[in-house]
Structure 1
């Protein structure tokens, strides 16, 4: 149902499966037959987890028991007994523009020598920071994705199966072109093992690039570069709705988190645009 009807991605389905398996370990008896008392006791066993993790597990179970009830496999839906933690959205970690510049400078020095893997890493970095791609979207790009020279964008199927336009800068295209001269033949733009580069390997590569630029590796990840893309665009004057479309957010409330990150711009906006600013 999650795959065929809800259109959930493989990563989402894997996360749901893991949540159900961990819940099955925490309760006695088959998970499909658990009653309200069994589910109400999960709050105590999950007390050591972050509120976001508890909320995700509870959401997975609500979806599961809702499915059983809708399909007539149960006469009731016990999910009302699941905990509902209060969530506060944390501010995203980002990098300063000069830190991103240091990462580019370090990898460009290596790429200048023509090392194939350095050229690949530069292309990865350009697409992460220059287009705001998610890690899965980036590593699963087909080889033919950027071959149409007249098209300065990608039509990408991202999270939740939603399509969006992703602009590709001239810098990113040039970096990809340089990498394609050395890229092994096959389906994927960034091959790795028997398929494409894995998200774990991308994470490792990004941290290695950060370390080479003198930045603490634990501060950097593919998603941090996506956050930097969004924050720096907003600081440069990008419209919030345009940023929502570029990031592929279903709800603009998700995009609005970046207005809290760029507090300096908000202060400047009030000082410059408010009717009383010049009195």
Structure 2
């Protein structure tokens, strides 16, 4: 099929997308181009087979599941940013947020042609003046990272101004969105009914039904779920191995029989795609059709579509509902289920804390408070845990200076 007969039938958007795709893959074979375009225009050809053909016959690409190097620091502080991050990582800390903050600082110092090492108070104030759109919680996080880095510079021999931390926004002021059982059923139904209208090999639409159920059924964080390797998921033993959670903690997460069945169904279709390293133990469990790592931003985008299909309004402006609210929802639903079954939450709370990957009960008791507010009748008989988590004012000891 000559290309001349193909182009008129192709929309401008499809044409530009496909040419961009070809340039990205670096093909120069005109014959192959015409054959692939013929397939794309054929409505009888299944989208999946187009993806398979592009992977297996048309495009030859070495997939290493490696993300692009976004953190290319170029300022005078570049080696110290890298050294600081390496030190944090060696102690088990997750540094992704720190790396992004350093990238922002790197651009700031580079834009002002800073060549002398040692951060001054004036530089901190100038940088702060540029962050007019950051939320208070974001500013607090950035100041925390900057303060740590300034202390690090002092230790390696470069005197720096250590900024004073701003007021910490109240952590308990934010109330997560807790989905009802009816809303969760609608979300699952919407996930199963998603349709793909654009043929992009980078789309992650086909993982959405599985990953949404996984996030709700295991309370995993989105970063933990997307970082799972094939070796971490044992469907025979019904368990998931989280090697490096948010707090650098390692834990095993059990899978229910129904959730294991969902993941097996996902693998059944995923493994049909002839992708390099698809069966490697160190390959990612969740991948896009072109074999690359699935990004959290793509999951957020699809989740908003799911919310719209479910009739659940998305408020925006950090008000949700968010993907992370699936984790909050299951925590509350778990507590409600335990309370209804007659379990003493005083003894059950540590189990939930470990399951969530929290370092302390203090991080978990927020869910109990939230459950008590939403389901007061359910927790009214939980006197033991009520006295522990909700003490009366006359039982509290106050410091006269406070």
Q: State the TM-score, normalized to the length of structure 1.
A: 0.80
2:329 corresponds in structure 1 to: 228
Distance, in Å, in 2 between the alignment partners of 1:179 and 1:214 is 26
Greater fraction of residues in helix: 1
| Distance verdict in 2 for CA 1:110–1:9, change over 3 Å | same
Taking a change above 3 Å as real, the CA distance of residues 85 and 169 of structure 1, as seen in their structure-2 partners, is same
Note closer, same or farther for the CA distance 1:208–1:143 as it changes in structure 2 (3 Å cut). Answer: farther
Structure 2: segments with no counterpart, 5+ residues: 1-83, 196-203, 339-344, 385-402
Q: Which moves more between the two structures, 43-52 or 256-265?
A: 43-52
Q: Which residue of the other structure, out of 148, 153, 166, is the alignment partner of 2:253?
A: 166
Find the aligned partners of 2:142 and 2:295 in 1 and give their Cα distance. Answer: 25
In the other structure, the counterpart of 2:359 is: 250
Deviates further, 128-137 or 40-49: 40-49
| Preserved contact between residue 155 and residue 165 of structure 1 (Cα < 8 Å) | yes
Q: Hey, what's the Cα distance between the residues in 2 that align with 1:142 and 1:77?
A: 41
Give the superposed CA RMSD.
3.1
Equivalent of 2:191 in 107, 115, 119: 107
Q: Distance in 2 between matches of 1:31 and 1:166?
A: 49
Counterpart check, 1:155 vs 2:241: yes
8 Å contact kept, 2:242–2:252: yes
Max Rg structure: 2
Q: Which secondary structure state, in structure 2, belongs to the residue aligned with residue 155 of structure 1?
A: strand
- Kept in 2: contact 1:20–1:60 (CA 8 A): no
Which of structures 1 and 2 has the larger relative contact order (alpha carbons within 8 angstroms, sep 6+)?
1
State the Cα deviation string for residues 74-108 of structure 1 (Å, max 9, x = none). 1x3421x3342232012222212221121123334
What CA distance in whole angstroms lies between the structure 2 residues aligned with 1:31 and 1:246?
48
Partners of 1:40 and 1:251 in 2: CA distance = 36
Q: 1:60-209 residue pairs with structure 2 within 5 A? A: 60-72=145-157, 74=158, 76-79=159-162, 81-89=163-171, 90-108=174-192, 120-149=207-236, 151-157=237-243, 158-183=245-270, 184=273, 185=275, 186=278, 187-192=283-288, 193-209=290-306
Alpha carbons of structure 1 residues 19 and 32: separation in structure 2 relative to 1, 3 Å? farther
Residues paired across the two proteins, number: 266
Per-residue CA distance 1:39-90 (angstroms, 9 max, x = gap) = 3566655465322111111111111111111222x1x3421x3342232012
The whole-number CA distance in structure 2 between the counterparts of 1:118 and 1:159 is 26
Give the Cα separation in 2 of the matches to 1:167 and 1:204.
28
